[in-house]
Amino acid sequence: MNKKTTVNWAILGAGKIAKKFATDLTVVTNAQKYAVASRSFDKATSFSKEFGFEKSYGSYEEMVKDPHVDAVYIAVPHTHHATATKLCLEHGKAVLCEKPFAMHANEVEEMISIAQSKKVLLMEAMWTYFLPHYQYVLNFLKNETFGSIKSLEADFGFVAELDPSSRLLNKSLGGGGLLDIGIYPIFAALSILGMPKKINATAQFFETGADSVCEMNFQYNNDIVAKLKSTLLEKTATEATIVCENGTVLLNSRFHEPSTVTLKSNDGTTETLDFDYTTIGYNFEVAHFGSLLLEGATESPIMNFELSRKLIQLLDTVRSEIGLQYDI
């Protein structure tokens, strides 16, 4: 029997991020654009025609029953991540779920538990982790080329359209800056420094109750501090700066997506590395996930369950610090 070499992908949800994901599917050799599901059949059909998918479904339930679907990318609002993921897992479909994995740690645990009991591949789509420039920085810091880390600063900010009806400002859909963009500076701190020993955070809020600004200090041993910020009220550099004993590592704007890296040695030497990106950047996580699925793996060795658990724990802790609650 010939071994399967391609993955039939389905996208659950047909919004803005789904379109970016679909664009990068084209360049992944083990990926086949197969199906799109939306609550609106017309929207699914339009999406399929635009991006070259074979099938269109007007319900998620109908799509997961298609035996030809191998993997599903979850691209619905945050509050629906857990429900959509569980639906797919229960039908034996591998799931790549957009970040944040879910709204809180209990949902994440339930998703992981189902995946493990069903022996189905599940991974959080933290695409930044798979980008070559980000992996380069992680390895550079691990090798202590500039010595040990002294501090980290990371931000993500843009001016949001102040439309109370938009998803970004809608708290019932998990809106606000923390879950949408604050997760990236938090992930930078987690992947570079690990879990902090103490967290301090303050925030500002829109009239809708969604957070507009969140400033966080993660404190570690040896007086190392990570200063993190997310804001929907101003455009920031959206960089990550790691100061080490003998130099500084700068992930240039916008650090969470395909970018460049500048290495500044304390002796005055500066070098900027260009990673020659030609895609939006989703293809790297897609290729990784597809390879895992074709190999029969049920968990990523890179974006593993323990890392997702730690990430949602940090988000939950920050939410508690700033008094942000969702009605779920």
For residue 180, the model assigns a pLDDT of: 95
Per CATH, 7-128+282-297 and 132-274+312-322 having the same topology is answered no
**Active-site residue among 55, 93, 99, 229?**
99
| pTM of the entire predicted model | 0.96
Amino acid at 37: A
At 156-176, the pLDDT tens digits run 999 998 888 888 998 888 899
At 227-254, the pLDDT tens digits run 999 999 999 999 999 999 999 999 999 9
Report, as ranges of residue numbers, the positions in the chain whose pLDDT lies below 50.
none
For residue 328, the model assigns a pLDDT of: 66
List own/partner pairs for 83-92 with CB under 8 A and 24 or more apart: 84/12, 84/13, 84/60, 85/111, 85/122, 86/110, 86/111, 86/114, 87/60, 87/61, 88/12, 88/64, 89/114, 89/115, 89/118, 89/120, 89/122, 90/64, 90/114, 90/118, 91/64, 91/65, 92/118, 92/120
Rounded to an integer, what distance in angstroms lies between the CA atom of residue 315 and that of residue 313? 5
Architecture of domain 7-128+282-297 in this structure: 3-Layer(aba) Sandwich (3.40)
Catalytic (active site) residue 33: no
Going from N- to C-terminal start, the domains of the chain cover 7-128+282-297, 132-274+312-322
Sole residue written with tokens 């400033």: 215
Domain at 132-274+312-322, CATH homologous superfamily: Dihydrodipicolinate Reductase; domain 2 (3.30.360.10)
